[in-house]
Structure formats: structure tokens, C-alpha cells
Amino acid sequence: MHTPKNSHSRLGHLQQLELALAITTALVVAYLMLTTGPDTLKMTAAVPLPAVVALLGLIIGYVVLDFFWHRLSRLKRYQHPLFAIAFLATCGLILLYESTFVSILMILMVGRAAHHYSLPMCLALAIVPTLCDGLIDHFAHQIPYAMASAVLYILFNLAILVISYALKSEQAEKERSRRLLRELQATQYLLGETAKQDERLHISRELHDQVGHHLTALSLQLEVAIHADDESARPHVQRARDISSLLLSDIRSTLNDIRRSSRIDLKSAIESLLQPGDEQVTIAIDDALSINSPAIAETLFRCTQEALTNARRHSSANEIHIRITGDAETLSWAYRDNGQAPDTITPGNGLIGMRERIQHLGGTLSVNASSTGFQLRAAIPQEP
């Protein structure tokens, strides 16, 4: 049986192999275009060689960058416009040359388009430029078999588009499964911490209500016995009273230790939500912070979970900071990123759910969006 980690690694290796083949193919096509004589590779318009080299450079440059996007998080926001420029350069090249192996570059770019556009848009990119090139070559330049070549390359475009979308769907499903598994593990960990805390509090209450009361009553009875008239029994009774007082003190000390150790480890639960590629996320929780309320811990956990999910889906931020602080009266939760925030924010189900959770605990949630990023701040009163 293959573990999710091994499946993820295998899929990553296949993607790297596919990108390496795309780079090699683009370089081979570029080499053939620049070295093949004009009698074999005919141009439909007189264009200087430097212009052709520049167009090839844009295409190859994008394909090479596509190999390193996961390491260039700061430039990832430019991936979409750079693809548009490279695709336009490809369209320019297939219009400049007769329908030959130059159209292979279009096949490569259509495969990349699946990562940027919807299926209808990708279908248009796979069909329209190549079809227009075939019509122009057929009617304007009277090139034999131009339409047949165009139809053939359109079929190649559609085939690579189907493969790219299948790979994209598989990758999205695997990522969704990994995300759900991480969230399930984090929730399970938080529930485990809550159960431990409840058990500790139950034990401390039982010790206090039963053993503590009995020892107190015993100590009082021994105190009365000390003042009795039987002088011979007094030293033994006094010794028994001292032992009961010492035992009562030890039990109270143990109860205090149990209550102090019943804090919920929220940081470990939140860190388990992080996934590969979340190196830009910074989580800061005060070491001295003590959260004993399961309701507060779950609310802070769910708010962090929702904020991270929204950042992955909608934000291009390369810096995300989450900080949880508190004192004896109030807990503060703050989220901040440097992504492109909209001018006006329309709260969705996630943001509304966060506010409802926080308000249920008597807290407040503020939302702020600006040109420097998106911010969330919550204040929740500590339970007495």
C-alpha cells in the first residue's frame, strides 16, 4: 500500500519529468527554427531574426520558470500575466511560419493553460489560434494541406489538454484528501487534549469533594480529641492530626498541579494544519499563555483553520502571520498577510462563521483590508 506521502512524492516527480520534457521540446523546436533553411521552414512574413529569437526567448523563459515556480513564491503572483505573454508569443510564431513543427510550441502552451484558465477558455485557446493559422495559410498563402495540418494539431492540443486536466484534477483531489487528513488529525488532537483536560478536572473535583472533605472532618475530630482528658492518648492523637493535616496539604497541592497542567496545547494543534508549501506562515503563541477552556481553544483553532484556507484559495500572499496572546482577562487572536486585498469585503460563510463563534463567547472580531494586505483581529474574554 502506498502512503499519501509516497503518492505525493511520486506525483511531484512525474510533474518535474513532464516539465523537463517540455523544456527539452521547446529547446529542440527553437534550435530547428533557427538552424533550418528557409527552403524547408518557410515564413509567411519577413520578420528580422532578433524578433523571432525574442519570441522564442519569451516562450522558453516561461517554460523554464514553470519548473521553478514552487521555489519563487514572491514571483508567483506574476505567473498568470507571464503565461499570457508567452502564449501571445506562441501565437505570433505560428502565424509567422507555415503549419509545421512550430505548432508543437502551441501544444506545450495549451498543456500549461490548464493551470490558469477554466475548461471553456482552454478549449478556445486549443482551437481558435491553430484554426485561424490554418485558415490564413490555406486562403491567404495557398499552402497545401494547411487545413489538414491545423485539424491534426488541434486534435493534439485537445489530447494534451485532456491529459493536463486529468492530472490537475488528480492533484487537486490528492491535495484535498491531504488537507482533510491534516484537519482531521488536528481536530482529533484537540479533542484528545480536551478529553485529557476534562478527565483531570474530574479527578481534581472528586479528590476535593470526597477525600478532601473527609480529611478535613478527620482533622477536626482529632483536634477535638487532643483537648480530651485522656493524657496517655493525647500524643498519638496529636501525631495523627499532624499526619492528616500534612495529607490534606499534599492533596491540595496535587489539585493545584492538576489544574495547572490541564492547559490545552493549542499550538501543536494549529501547527498540524500546516501543509507542504506553507513556509510563508508564521505562528506565534506566547509560551506563558494558558487556555483551559475547550470552547475557546476550539474557536481559536477553527478561526485559524478558516483564515489559512481562505489565504490558500484567494490570496497571493507570501507572508502570513498568526499571533495569539492573552492575559488574565482577555485572549487576543490576530491574522495578517501581505496579499492583494479587495477594496470592499463581502463576508462569506467562513468569515460569518468566525464572527458567530467569537460573539458566542462574548468576543469581537474586526476585519481590515488595505493595499498592504488583509488583517483579522479577535478579542475573547477569558473564562473565570
pLDDT in tens, 252-288: 676 666 555 556 777 877 887 887 767 778 889 887 7
Find out whether 355 and 347 touch, Cβ atoms under 8 Å. yes
Band (18; pLDDT cuts 50, 70, 90): confident
Residue 61 belongs to a domain: yes
Specify whether the CB–CB gap between 334 and 286 falls below 8 A: no
Q: How confident is the model at residue 2 (pLDDT cuts 50, 70, 90)?
A: very low
Last residue within a domain, chosen from 114, 147, 178: 178
Q: Is the predicted pLDDT of residue 8 greater than 60, yes or no? A: no
Question: Based on the domain organization, do 219 and 343 belong to the same domain?
Answer: no
Given pLDDT bands bounded at 50, 70 and 90, which one contains residue 364?
very high
- Mean confidence (pLDDT) of the chain: 80
Please indicate, yes or no, whether residues 372 and 340 belong to a single structural domain of this protein.
yes
pLDDT score, position 221: 65
For residues 129-136, give the mean pLDDT.
Answer: 91
pLDDT for the residue numbered 4: 46
pLDDT higher at 355 or 275:
355
Residue 127 maps to a domain: yes
Q: What is the mean pLDDT of residues 283-296?
A: 80
Residue 31 lies in a domain: yes
Assess whether 168 and 207 both reside in one domain: no
- On whether both 278 and 250 belong to a single domain, the answer is no
CA–CA dist 31, 18 (Å, integer): 20
pLDDT at 58: 94
pLDDT of residue 316: 72
Which set of grid coordinates corresponds to residue 146? 494547411
Q: Which run of H or of E encompasses 129?
A: helix 119-135
Count of domains observed in the chain = 3
- Identity of residue 197: Q
pLDDT at 302 (0 to 100): 85
199-203 mean pLDDT: 69
Question: Is 174 part of a structural domain of the chain?
Answer: yes
173 and 50 in a common domain: yes
pLDDT digits (tens, 9 = 90+) for 36-83: 877 777 777 778 889 999 999 999 999 888 877 766 666 677 888 999
Question: Of 113, 145, 178, which closes a domain?
Answer: 178
DSSP state of 115: T
Note the pLDDT of residue 57.
Answer: 94
Return the SS3 of 7: helix
377 and 240 share one domain: no
Does residue 44 share a domain with residue 157? Answer: yes
| Residue percentage of the chain with pLDDT more than 90 | 22
> Do 313 and 355 fall into the same domain?
yes
CB 146 within 8 A of CB 93: no
* Residue where one domain finishes, among candidates 241, 260, 279: 260
Print the SS3 string covering 243-310.
HHHHHHHHHHHHHHHHHHCCCCCHHHHHHCCCCCCCCCEEEEECCCCCCCCHHHHHHHHHHHHHHHHH
350 within a domain of the structure (yes/no) = yes
- Of 3-7, 54-58, 185-189, the range with the highest mean pLDDT is 54-58
Task: Give residues with Cβ within 8 angstroms of 258, minimum separation 6.
Answer: 200, 201, 203, 204
Residue 190 lies in a domain: no
Cα separation values, 29 from 50, 216, 276, Å: 16, 92, 35
Burial of residue 302 (CB within 10 Å: 0-12, 13-18, 19+) is middle
Are 10 and 155 within one domain? yes
21 and 125 share one domain: yes
Can you tell me the mean pLDDT for 121-140?
92
* Residue pLDDT, tens place only, 70-118: 666 666 778 889 999 999 999 999 988 876 778 899 999 999 898 889 8
Indicate if 255 and 275 belong to the same structural domain.
no
User: Of 286, 243, 241, which Cα lies nearest the Cα of 266?
Assistant: 286
pLDDT confidence of residue 19 = 81
Q: What is the pLDDT of residue 1?
A: 40
Q: Is residue 193 part of a domain?
A: no
Query: From CA 66, how far away is CA 25, in angstroms rounded?
Result: 14
Which CATH number characterizes residue 330's domain?
Answer: 3.30.565.10
- Does the predicted model carry a pTM greater than 0.75? no
Q: Do 353 and 314 touch, CB atoms closer than 8 A?
A: no
Q: 370 lies in which domain range?
A: 263-381
What confidence tier does 122 reach under pLDDT thresholds 50, 70, 90? very high
At 221-243, the pLDDT tens digits run 666 666 666 666 667 666 666 76
Q: Is 314 domain-assigned?
A: yes
| 52/104 same-domain check | yes
